């Protein structure tokens, strides 16, 4: 799960997957924009067959995305 999320994040923010720390904040450490975040959320939702719901908390790290996917799966 974590490896696939890393690949999606890497493709979305154009940073090598092996240089992304799963616990670092994607906004502050990697400078993603809100548009990139929603593209990332859309790609993750499509890949894992989950539906993000209005009012869900933001996922700031790869680790949080993994926990979010597990919760919705």
Instruction: Give the tens place of pLDDT for each residue, 21-69.
Output: 999 999 999 999 999 999 999 999 999 999 888 778 899 999 999 999 9
Asked whether the whole model's pTM tops 0.95, one would answer: no
Token pair, residue 54, equals: 């209005």
Check: CB of residue 24 under 8 Å from CB of residue 61: yes
Where b means 16+ CB within 10 Å and e means fewer, 34-65 reads eebbebbbebbeeebebeeeeeeeebbbbebb
Check: CB of residue 51 under 8 Å from CB of residue 57: no
């Amino acid at each position: 799960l974590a490896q696939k999320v890393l690949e999606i994040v890497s493709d979305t923010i154009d940073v090598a997957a092996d240089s992304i720390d799963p616990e670092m904040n994607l906004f502050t450490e990697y400078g993603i924009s809100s548009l990139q975040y929603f593209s990332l959320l859309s790609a993750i939702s499509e890949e894992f067959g989950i539906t993000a719901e209005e009012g869900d908390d933001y996922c700031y790290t790869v680790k949080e995305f993994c926990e979010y996917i597990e919760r919705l799966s």
